[in-house]
Structure 1
Amino acid sequence: MKKNSIVALLAVTLFACSSQKKQIEAASFSVDGRNVTVYTSADNTDFRLTKTDVNLQFKDLKQPLETQLCVFVNPKKTFQTYLGIGGAITDASAEVFAKLSKKSQEEFLKAYYDKDKGIGYSIIRTNIHSCDFSSGSYTYINEGDAALKSFSIAHDREFRIPLMKKAIATAGGKVTVYASPWSPPAFMKDTKNMLQGGKLLPEFYQAWANYYVKFIESYEKEGIPIWGLTVQNEPMAKQTWESCIYTAEEERDFVKNYLGPTLQKSGFGDKKLTVWDHNRDLLSQRATTILDDPEASKYVWGIGFHWYESWSGGDSMFETVGKVHEMYPDKNLLFTEGCVEKFDYSKLQRWANGERYGESMIHDFNNGTVGWTDWNVLLDQNGGPNHVGNFCFAPLHGDTRTGGLIYTPSYYVIGHFSKFIGEKAKRISSVSSRSQLLTTSFLNQDGKVVTVVMNKTNEKLKYNLCIGAKATEVFILPHAIQTLIY
């Protein structure tokens, strides 16, 4: 047998043994000797990631009755591997951070990026030059410089890069960083305008692909490793801010003929390239067009999506994510942006804002999503800065008048996932017997299960957490979210 064949066979055998070991570990899960600890956040209470139950015991419950509300968890059925949860460090976030008191800055960093003292964010998204959440439009080159000789990220060194470095350090260096462009420079577009949509001119496809490479090189020289890229933020939206339109075919061809090969030739073929980066509504059409082309698909790590499809008056299209996952199980799904729009200071503590996060995160993970990225990690007391007045909510707001922080329900709801789900956890089966409760579960590498349960009703509910023929009884308050660890 040839040496290469022996090496290949050995690699396959080791992989099979590793996979088999993981299956055996999941299959051998038992609740014997395990207790359940419950953390709760609830509307109209002081509960915010509060430990509300400890040492709940599992007892026999071989056949639940139809009258008993149950959450059925099966650790033997494993699905996607968890990548992480995080948010975007935009120019706006960094500028507000710089205006906080030193004490609030330290509090902010720990609140997001410290797993013990905060909620353990492990993903950072950032913008490639300006977006709407910048104080103004800018690029990294002089206008007209297609050769990119003037390329410089000096602008980002003032606020954004220092904050990113501090966030990464607080997280212990383990952060997944990816970047997204909102628009090419004006001269590269048919409209000669970074705002209001427009398209990338074909004669600048290569120059624009080179721009991504320059960005990666520049950020990595600053000590910020770039894990991946999305091709274009919201490529079907003509916005009043920085935006650029790509049809599915145009994005496919840009990836296939320019961006993918350019990353490969530059030594960045390992960077994870994500397409679409827009709402769930057209997710299937975009994925089909790009991924059914083998030459384009080979460069694509995954498909990104946002949650704003409800602008049309309809409901969130959670099932679309699952259907795309069924079609392309070898590709990854990544939630790349979501926020509560139309900022109103009087609604900072509106519980429904947080429930929107909980509902989306549960459905998205259950439909195969590996990672979930919120929009701005920090905005000011006006929902900005935003250079076109598109003010929004964030989980944390900084009051630039006092230098203090404002925590919103969204922060705590996200924390019910990000604080407890561990690196490379496996999602496992988690099913509610009634529509009143939403649930998802993960099996951490340390062998513990994390089950999240959310109650959107006005009633206090009693349910059984069931694993096989064992169960423990749990109460959940109205409009509450719980994380159960066992």
Structure 2
Amino acid sequence: MNKTKTIAGILLMTVVMACNSKQEKLMIDVYETSAAGNKLQKVEVSESGTTDLEITIKPEEKYQEIIGFGGSFTESSAYLLNQLSNKNRKLIIDAYFGEEGAKYSLTRTHINSCDFSLSNYSYAPVEGDKELKHFSIDEDRDDIIPMIKEAMAVSKDGFKIMSSPWTAPVWMKDNKDWKGGKLLSEYYDTWALFFSKYINEYKKEGIDIWGLTVENEPLGNGYNWESMHFTPEEMVDFVSKHLGPKLKADGHDVKVLGYDQNRDELKEWADIMYKDEESSKYFDGMAIHWYASTFDYMPEALQYTHAKAPSKLMIQSEACVDAEVPHWNDDAWYWKKEATDWGWDWAPEEQKHLHPKYVPVYRYARDIIGCLNNWVQGWVDWNMVLDTQGGPNWANNWCLAPVIVDPKKDEVYFTPMYYTLAHFSKYIRPGAIRIGFESNNDDLMVTAAQNPDGSIAVVVLNMKEEAKQLKLTMAGKESAFKIDAQALQTIVIHQDK
């Protein structure tokens, strides 16, 4: 045997194997936000000899299409932007909608006033104006409309807007009050016309409304701020006989979402809204909130609702850490188990377990991942900007927001919540398809989606107090890297050209 040829052959095989090994690496970029201080920071992918966890991505397993992620244009947020310097106003708008920012793709705003308004108001203030001859959106021209237009100007891909009423004008209601009460049946057609006029008036401003929810929190809010009550049957009646036909007759191509409240009563609403073709034909889907529990994302209710009507949308239309005054320039607080919600103090004893103290960053990341993995197609935060008190809010219903400002000092604080949301909104784009994965360990929460451009975004949440060595595999390729303790990562897998 020719030893020289044998050695040469072995060397050649080693080189080939080494080359093949390089070709088998996944092409990835990793971005991390962590309690240690990373803020959507691109981190180095470094090999390690040990692996704590393995995640296998399965692009062949396809689930729901993603509509988008974002936050809400409230009068409070828009008013605060008006108090800031042009520089800081632009900083915030760019951070939410610009190419270098979070690239929000799905947003919400309110029809008439809500608790995050400066006062109570309606676009139809004249009592008995059934034809809405005095309808006007002038209340929005100083704040909400300019904020939306500035966002549109910097958003390269654009974004969708959902609009939600908290209440009809008081003269249309049985109790003649902003809080509670029901829409009088004699005004069902007028209220349907109200939606149509709202869409038209915003269109005149160059703003298209993508979707409507019929009523924010139709079960009420304890008469604390603007509300109007519907039973599921009443909402179906209003939509099927009044709102749906009116929108169709007026040529509005707009999504109509029902319910718009907490997941704990979702099944009952799904049963009635999706009872048959007649009840469901004008509903494009369901809007949901998380306030029944910001800890339990209630996968059974989400799975049930999807199974009831697989072709209908399911959108998380509102979430925030409520009943809290923001902590200013204190990143560490947002990673600590100190925050509470309304239920910590006020929930009935049998529901206390649904409202534990919880890390704010985890509330958001955990809920978004849980929602995505159970058929939800969009996730919308509440206020984009609040002040150091958690307002302004005429009902003193203080909350957190991803961006906090001190208008008197013209200062801006991007909380860790901003970066948490950006992990999803920036890298999982509209039209993405959620895809399957397998994990050999429950220590991490994971979701994955394939974007229209072919890239795959994998979001991983590590709530443990120690870093983990992670191996990601897909289609025979792999990459190994570390996720820090108490960290959120988005791994972008670039497909071969």
- Give your verdict on TM over 0.5: yes
- Give the match for residue 308 of structure 1: 291
> Does the 8 Å contact 1:39/1:53 carry over to 2?
no
Distance 1:49 1:251 in 2: 42
Q: How far off its partner does 1:58 sit?
A: 12
Partner of 1:441, secondary structure, is strand
Once the two structures are superposed, the pairs formed by residues 165-244 of structure 1 within 5 Å of their partners are 165-172=149-156, 174-195=158-179, 197-238=180-221, 239-244=223-228
Out of 92, 100, 106, the residue aligned to residue 108 of structure 1 is: 92
Matching residue of 2:444:
437
Compared CA separation, residues 58 and 334, structure 1 to 2 (3 A): farther
1:282 is matched with 265
Corresponding residue to 2:29 among 30, 33, 37: 37
Counterpart of 1:109 in structure 2: which amino acid? I
TM-score normalised over the length of structure 1: 0.88
**Equivalent of 1:338 in 313, 319, 328:** 319
Distance 1:84 1:297 in 2: 23
Which stretch of structure 1 is more off in the superposition, 351-360 or 125-134? 351-360
1:68 offset after TM fit, Å? 4.6
Equivalent-residue separation in structure 2 for 1:142 and 1:304 (angstroms):
28
8 Å CA contact 2:26, 2:479 repeated in 1? no
SS in 2 for 1:324: helix
Shift of 1:237: 1.8
CA contact (8 A) 1:101 1:404 kept: no
Q: Which runs of 5+ in 1 are unaligned?
A: 1-30, 60-64
Correspondence 1:465-484 to 2 at 5 A: 465-484=472-491
Query: Which residue pairs with 1:415 in the alignment?
Result: 422
State the shift of 1:331 in Å: 0.5
**Which residue of the partner structure matches residue 44 of structure 2?**
53
Matched residue, 1:267: 251
Instruction: Give yes or no for contact 2:428–2:451 (8 Å, CA) kept in 1.
Output: yes
CA contact 1:58–1:471 (8 Å) conserved in 2: no
Task: Answer whether contact 2:403 2:413 (CA < 8 A) is retained.
Answer: yes
- Please give the per-residue CA displacement for 1:250-284, whole angstroms capped at 9, x wherever unaligned: 1111111111011111111x210000111111111
In the alignment, what sits opposite 1:91? 75
Amino acid at match of 2:459: V
State the distance in 2 between where 1:345 and 1:363 align.
25
Query: Could you tell me which residue of structure 2 aligns to residue 161 of structure 1?
Result: 145
Counterpart of 2:107? 124
Secondary structure at the residue paired with 1:158?
A: coil
Structure with the greater alpha carbon radius of gyration: 2
Letter aligned with residue 463 of structure 2: K
More divergent stretch after superposition (466-475 vs 240-249) = 466-475
Q: Taking structure 2 as the reference length, what is the TM-score of the superposition?
A: 0.86
**CA deviation string 1:431-475 (max 9, x = no partner):** 332221000011112221110000111121122212244432221
Q: RMSD of the alignment, in Å?
A: 1.9
Q: Kindly, what percent of the aligned residue pairs are identical?
A: 38
Could you tell me whether the CA contact under 8 Å between 1:39 and 1:52 is conserved in 2?
Answer: yes
What residue identity is the alignment partner of 1:308?
Answer: Y
- Taking the aligned partners of 1:391 and 1:164, their CA distance within structure 2 comes to 23
Match for 1:159: what amino acid?
D
Distance 2:464 2:26 in 1: 30
Task: Find the aligned partners of 1:35 and 1:230 in 2 and give their Cα distance.
Answer: 41
Match of 1:254 among 219, 235, 238: 238
Q: 1: CA distance between counterparts of 2:182 and 2:394? A: 21
Q: How far 1:138 sits from its partner (Å)?
A: 0.4
- Aligned equivalents of 1:34 and 1:70: distance in 2? 14
For 1:346, what is the secondary structure of its paired residue? coil
Unpaired runs of at least 5, structure 2: 1-22, 336-358
Amino acid at match of 2:371: D
1:32 positional shift: 4.4
